[in-house]
Structure 1
Amino acid sequence: MSLFKRNPFGHILFLKKWIIRIFGLISHRRYRKFNNLQIEGSEILRNLPDKNVLFISNHQTYFADVAAMFHVFNAALSGRDDSIKNIGYIWKPKLNVYFVAAGETMRSGLLPKLFAYAGSVSIDRTWRNAGKDVNRQVKNSDISNIGKAIKDGWVITFPQGTTTPFKPIRRGTAHIIKTCKPIVVPIVIDGFRRSFDKKGLNIKKRNVLQSMVIKKPLEIDYENESVADIVTKIEYAIEQHPSFLKVLTPKQAEEYIKEEEELNKQREFWSS
């Protein structure tokens, strides 16, 4: 690889590789020691083409979700089955992996800017800015950049556009799917909200079982399915359809919390 070879966004791949290596080394213990990341579906990743793949996922933290996916993707491509044990896989990371993120988040400091260089496709959200609700037009350049990333490799997106669970799916994701016609792979994560703060930078609780389930690619009729149909498929695929939401009475909620506490005890794997 040429020392100054760049990707379609002008990022020098040599620098990107070292950023991924360094952050990979720093973050690895968050999923292997402080907490335990359980993985399903590594074989699906190995059977995907090198480009034109869109991963859709529910969202729990700003950065920890994506960092975990970088680990899982590279470990799987290195031959590991549902494991990120032995971090040697990070030495030769897949460099055409991107993730869609809010521009204001990725410009909020030096650390996010470094994360952005590792693969962010930054967009301006049309519904939210600086913590306030807004209503503005989609930038054509944002759509173009996502399409450019899909054409070049693998792209991770969070169709709800927020870490709050069971929020509506943004229709823009369905439009991108119909336009770019990528292979769409759902991922369902859990445990990240319990183990990290909202940004995903600080460990909030240890000994939490984190999970990541990679599902089979969705079957989509790009020409004939409507945007609404694709939105519904996404909701079910990432388990954020309203039917997954439990409607609880106060008494049921109390019992549910107790069950969750017991479940968390069972999930502990690392003695303090």
Structure 2
Amino acid sequence: MLRRGRDRSVALVRVLGHEVAKDRVAGLAAEIAFFAVLSIFPALLIAAGLLSYLEALVGAEVAARTEARVTDALALVLTDRGAPVLDSVQAVFSGEYGGLLTVASLGALVTLSGAWAVVVQALNLAYDSEEHRPWLRRRLLGLGLGLMTVVVVVVALAVVVVGPLLGRGSDVADVVGLGGAFEAFWDLARLPLLFLVLVGWLALVFHLAPNRRTPWRAALPGAVATTLLWLGASAAFGLYLRTLGEGNPLLGVFGGGVVVLTWMYLLALALLLGGELNALLHDGKHRPREVSSGTR
């Protein structure tokens, strides 16, 4: 049994490498990363604009804490080279630029739809599916996936940072005398909940994007693998910024942009690898050829 499992794993890795090369995954990931870099800043402004409405729902203190978490995360990703972007995001939080959100929305719609249109194309290649859907339908699908991405980010921030029941969960726990236990539980549940949100969203992407309908369960292996790769790549990226990024003369003037582009490329590559994995597992291409005893 162990040998059979090992053979299947080796066959999976071998065939996955072949499919990745055949479907030009590395090149398509670079194309997605390019569109992602173009859309990341207007998309962040949209997310910041949506989060600015949290104050009316959860109060100024919770909204300020969420804003601080968002800006801290952006500062970690963009370092000091992203100061102008951080200033713009903070201005949107404060409601200074109402028109800026509209302009950013228009720019993000175009670039987000372009990036996700490439994802749709790449997943069709992974599943060996010909694309028969009209061009407009594919662009609308890409646009929908892009907007869904922004909404998922906002919801994840609202749930993980603010907490359940829009931050009122602790109040409910205090009423029933479980305040301390609730805080301890929620501290432990934040990251697993974020993991589940990402897996659910990626499963939806893998189910809807290719021009081929598969069972929902067939989307889960790639969704889990992509989420793990994303978390690992993000952790490594943060480690790089903390150890090698600051003060490195090789980064030069364009260092921040290059680092962000590289990060987007790694995320796109992980997404496409997840799609390739789903396609292989669903079609059974990874299974080693066996000769049954009845044919000998």
TM range (shorter): under 0.3
- Structure of greater relative contact order (alpha carbons < 8 Å, 6+ residues apart): 2
TM-score of the aligned structures, taking structure 2 as reference length: 0.26
TM-score of the aligned structures, taking structure 1 as reference length: 0.27
- Report the structure number with the largest CA radius of gyration: 2
